Structure 1
């Protein structure tokens, strides 16, 4: 069983009476300011609001002219590229993005042209992202001159769901490591704030911004696991190499979040989510093969 570093028994917040959200639609700077003003000190409000990040929210495309990618379907690969495999079987395509059609995000500067195909061992769902030995169980392939490629025999193909994108503001989950400095004095306010922010509609597919967590903050785990430290138990976080690696957790960004989605016949564990992560430097150098991954479910 995976050990979740942050949400131990003492982290669980006692149930509280229902509260009225500040709004029912997408998060806006005004709604974020209103919610923060209810529960946080002026200094904490400024910190929390400064952490808000834009994202691209992906949803089923109703207009064919607005399609920026899709769930499932064929891969987009270079003519001579080999299909990614793991333990002798082909990886499944979970998403494809047409970068030329994506709106630009200043906080996540993706290439202006080309294709990204996201692969995962989706049939077995064998990898969670905490074991360095499983780093080939997912793959992100960037290609400029690409052609559609059907999956090899024995590899599942998910139904295609065309996706459109709109910009959406995101705020950090109360369990995010970025908020650890506020936990001592503002802990109750942070969790109350999380309760009144507009709920995220599902399925929640997203590019950039803060992830919609199912479990714990993932940045440090990705930093350690990508550097060869097993973080499926508490001993990984006690490794003597951690102090030298910890600062690098701030370099990671959410590249793509894929939710469970009935239309695409995607169920990640118990209604979980897949997260593909990338370092700033790897994004700048187009080193998508260095992406890390996390799978969280309830």
Structure 2
């Protein structure tokens, strides 16, 4: 549900772009998100700020994550929760601590080996810069950047939008894209988003992630088949199955970026998913990672 401030902004922009025909649809479908934007290159003068690339800050007790072959995973990001919580309108994240994201080889594009680590404020007391191993799964070095957070409105993306609701005789998809850009305050320094819509052509990412998170089964590119398997998992409770798909959240989507060195296949997006139930419980042991590239 949108905050009152964001609802007022949405209504203002919808009127500005003369999209009144889509007002109810957008109010119902726009998600509250958090966007992360690049700031300065990391100099490691402070322990624990939100950053992407480079090296993480970890206590010595934490072992560097490895993939199934024993190769160290590649560090992607550390996000200081106190930087995010003021922008977490839906109040989904823990109030304090740091989230760390690591990834293994990004092939194939589904079921990518990865690790999300959550450390509480108490566990971070002895944290210091933890140098990445010389060789990691992606065999690439990413430049460390500080990132800042902001609360945004995330309208349905290409694979998720109901075209019949946003297009009419006077408005086409390109005009909808302009409205979207205005809504989420997009700019060239945006690097990642939390709780928005993933980039995709088919709008079925949550089915894929939910199926894996709940059953461990691979997705066969049929949302109906996935829903049927999830329903079976809940002993025929189709309402619970649909709710689980709806409550499968985009924890983090990381865009390709030349400055940092991120390039997911053909300039695509790396995506992490989590069940809402686990997120609210502060449980990051069961997440899913996949990749979208055009």
Normalising by the smaller structure, the TM-score range is 0.7 to 0.9
Please name the residue that 2:116 is paired with: 140
| Deviation, structure 1 residue 242 | 4.0
| Deviation, structure 1 residue 166 | 2.1
Judged with a 3 Å threshold, the aligned counterparts in structure 2 of structure 1 residues 80 and 204 are, in CA distance, closer, same or farther, namely same
| C-alpha distance after superposition, 1:164-198 (max 9, x if no partner) | 1222221112532xx6xx66x53744963633424
**Worse-superposed segment, 199-208 or 160-169:** 199-208
Separation in 1 of the partners of 2:172 and 2:292?
Answer: 20
Please name the residue that 1:269 is paired with: 265
Q: Aligned with 1:289: secondary structure?
A: coil
Higher relative contact order (CA 8 A, sep 6+): 1
1:170 aligned onto 2:154: yes
| Deviation, structure 1 residue 213 | 1.4
Please name the residue that 2:92 is paired with: 109
| Deviation, structure 1 residue 94 | 0.8
Match of 2:73 among 79, 83, 91: 91
Q: Any unmatched runs of 5+ in structure 1?
A: 1-26
Please name the residue that 1:250 is paired with: 246
Separation in 2 of the partners of 1:188 and 1:128?
Answer: 32
Q: Aligned with 2:254: secondary structure?
A: strand
Separation in 2 of the partners of 1:187 and 1:229?
Answer: 35
1:60 aligned onto 2:38: yes
Separation in 2 of the partners of 1:93 and 1:169?
Answer: 28
Separation in 1 of the partners of 2:49 and 2:154?
Answer: 20
Would the aligned equivalents of 2:102 and 2:116 in 1 still touch at CA under 8 Å? yes
| C-alpha distance after superposition, 1:142-167 (max 9, x if no partner) | 11223232222422442101111222
Please name the residue that 1:213 is paired with: 199
Q: Aligned with 2:19: secondary structure?
A: helix
Q: How does 1:179-258 map to 2 (within 5 A)?
A: 186=165, 188-189=167-168, 192=173, 194-199=176-181, 200-202=186-188, 204-217=190-203, 218-226=205-213, 227-234=215-222, 237-238=224-225, 240-243=228-231, 244=238, 245-258=241-254
Would the aligned equivalents of 1:52 and 1:169 in 2 still touch at CA under 8 Å? yes
| Deviation, structure 1 residue 297 | 0.8
Would the aligned equivalents of 2:55 and 2:75 in 1 still touch at CA under 8 Å? yes
Separation in 2 of the partners of 1:31 and 1:273?
Answer: 30
TM-score by length of 1: 0.73
Please name the residue that 2:285 is paired with: 289
Would the aligned equivalents of 1:215 and 1:297 in 2 still touch at CA under 8 Å? no
Separation in 2 of the partners of 1:230 and 1:46?
Answer: 36
Separation in 2 of the partners of 1:79 and 1:196?
Answer: 47
Separation in 2 of the partners of 1:207 and 1:84?
Answer: 23
TM-score by length of 2: 0.74
| Deviation, structure 1 residue 58 | 1.3
| Deviation, structure 1 residue 294 | 2.3
Would the aligned equivalents of 1:74 and 1:157 in 2 still touch at CA under 8 Å? no
Would the aligned equivalents of 1:252 and 1:280 in 2 still touch at CA under 8 Å? yes
Match of 2:131 among 150, 174, 181: 150
Q: Any unmatched runs of 5+ in structure 2?
A: 1-7, 232-237
Please name the residue that 1:119 is paired with: 102
Separation in 2 of the partners of 1:168 and 1:247?
Answer: 24
1:33 aligned onto 2:14: yes
